[in-house]
Amino acid sequence: MTEFSDLALDDRIQRAVRAEGYTTPTPVQERTIPALLEGRDVLGVAQTGTGKTAAFALPILHHLAAERPEHGRPIRALILTPTRELAAQIGDRLEVYGRNLTLHSFVIFGGVGQMPQVRAIDRGVDVLVATPGRLLDLEEQGYVDLSHVKHLVLDEADRMLDMGFIHDVRKILRLLPRERQNLLFSATMPEGIRDLVAKMLTDPVRVDVSPEEPTTDRIEQHVMFVKKADKVRLLADIIHAEMVDCGIVFTRTKHGANRLVQQLSRDGIVAEAIHGNKSQTARVRALEGFRDGDVPILVATDIASRGIDVEGITHVFNYELPNEPEIYVHRIGRTARAGRTGVAYSFCDETESGYLVGIQDLLGEDVPVIEDHAYHHPDARRRRGVGHPRRRRRLLVAAGRCAARDEVGSLRLVAAQRDRRVVGRA
């Protein structure tokens, strides 16, 4: 079995790794780090929680520590992420892994004033972690020079696509030198990402890592049928009864997250909301309170379903079921981290039974139902609508018999378009 000490990393980085208690690399680290140390491009197919940040950060720091820029301290490594939270986490890890080096890293994102970021870049930055929008803003204003970048990382590329950032990413690619090392990580490979891979990577090493044990195997899952109006009371009852002190509640809308925080507060439950309309200061404060234990309940939209890794989460609540089955898996994956177990409760009202069908089809099994609660509503089991997820799932499975696995993203689009036509005729 490979140990970190077996990897040809700079001794100063090895000391930092040992100080963190790392001994054995994860599968994605074991396969990615040697390839990057050799200067190869890498395509990583891996989800959050597999150790991918260290997989790209350690070899990049190794290369930068050995390279001497001719003048000043230009940006030599660029890491693009879809969300502010993920950018901040990567920035924190870079500080830890590079603690014994003389390299400078910095994080920039929108939602905060730009001048502190401009001043930091002006002082010199070796590794820049950025969200695409703020990076382009500063580059267009003449504050960012990307002409010296030798290492590029695109993290959670499929999330970039979902959030509409791929156009910005393509603009950024045109600003970079042709000669550079590239790394792209994505949990899935929809058509838009495959096109980007073809343009961005040169003869890449493909690192495809599936968890040895599906996260859902360590999660105790339950579904509870309930009227929409009774969901908040059911949620409060469970939080009180199980003394939840580290749980995430997922809603579909920003307004719904804010309203739920107010409702929980009236029931004596301390909660904070995190979503795209919150200022960066408010989002950081909420996350820090959650990590520190001062805020036991975090109410989030799906911006928090990927890229936020908080240790010790015991409960995940799907207050509103997601309309895409894959999002359910990402959500409940916030618990049962690092070999722990967790609990996931899903509240299903009479409008969401179709979503539950799609989730169960994806899981390949039914989620156990809890009927013994004060708000049980059996009518919520009924399926509604012609274009519910089971129909979409059947279309995907049928089409998948004659298509490659990595084309599922485009097949899903075809299925959705067909469903819209069916509904339109109904």
CA distance 207 to 45: 6
**DSSP readout, 211-257?**
-SS-GGGGEEEEEEEB-GGGHHHHHHHHHHHTT-SSEEEE-SSHHHH
The confidence band for 402, taking pLDDT boundaries of 50, 70 and 90, is very low
Of 390 and 194, the structure prediction assigns the larger pLDDT to: 194
Whether 389 shows a pLDDT value over 50: the answer reads: no
What is the end-to-end Cα distance of the chain in Å, rounded? 59
CA distance 168 to 146: 15
The confidence band for 416, taking pLDDT boundaries of 50, 70 and 90, is very low
Is 4-208 assigned to CATH 3.40.720.10? no
The confidence band for 418, taking pLDDT boundaries of 50, 70 and 90, is very low
Tens digits of per-residue pLDDT, 131-164?
999 999 999 999 999 999 999 999 999 888 878 8
Q: What are phi and psi of 108, to 5 degrees?
A: -130, 145
| DSSP SS3 for 12 | helix
Of 143 and 305, the structure prediction assigns the larger pLDDT to: 143
215-381 shares the fold of 4-208: yes
Q: What are phi and psi of 128, to 5 degrees?
A: -110, 125
- The listed range with the strongest mean pLDDT (45-49, 189-193, 340-344) is 340-344
Please work out, in degrees rounded to the nearest 5, the angle formed at the alpha carbon of residue 156 by the alpha carbons of 151 and 159: 135
Of 90-99, 255-264, 393-402, give the lowest mean pLDDT range.
393-402
Residue ranges covered by each domain of the chain: 4-208, 215-381, 389-425
Of 53, 34, 377, 33, the residue nearest 230 (C-alpha): 377
Whether 46 shows a pLDDT value over 50: the answer reads: yes
Residue type, 388: H
The confidence band for 394, taking pLDDT boundaries of 50, 70 and 90, is very low
Alpha-carbon Rg for the chain, nearest whole angstrom, is: 23
Of 160 and 14, the structure prediction assigns the larger pLDDT to: 14
Match 């989030």 to its residue by tokens: 300
Supply the CATH classification number for the domain 215-381. 3.40.50.300
The confidence band for 392, taking pLDDT boundaries of 50, 70 and 90, is very low
For 338, the token pair is: 């690092």
Of 198, 219, 422, 242, the residue nearest 340 (C-alpha): 219
Of 23-32, 317-326, 334-343, give the lowest mean pLDDT range.
334-343
Judge if pTM exceeds 0.75.
no
Of 302 and 271, the structure prediction assigns the larger pLDDT to: 271
Q: Residue 347: beta bridge partners? A: 224
Q: What is the mean pLDDT of residues 330-355?
A: 89
The whole-number pLDDT of residue 277 equals 78
The whole-number pLDDT of residue 426 equals 33
Angle in degrees, 0-180, between the axes of helices 84-97 and 52-66, rounded to the nearest 10: 50
The confidence band for 388, taking pLDDT boundaries of 50, 70 and 90, is very low
CA distance 408 to 326: 12
- Sheet strand arrangement including 247-250: 219-225, 342-348, 315-318, 247-250, 297-300, 271-274
Whether 98 shows a pLDDT value over 70: the answer reads: yes
The confidence band for 275, taking pLDDT boundaries of 50, 70 and 90, is confident
User: For residues 322 and 252, is the Cβ–Cβ distance under 8 A?
Assistant: yes
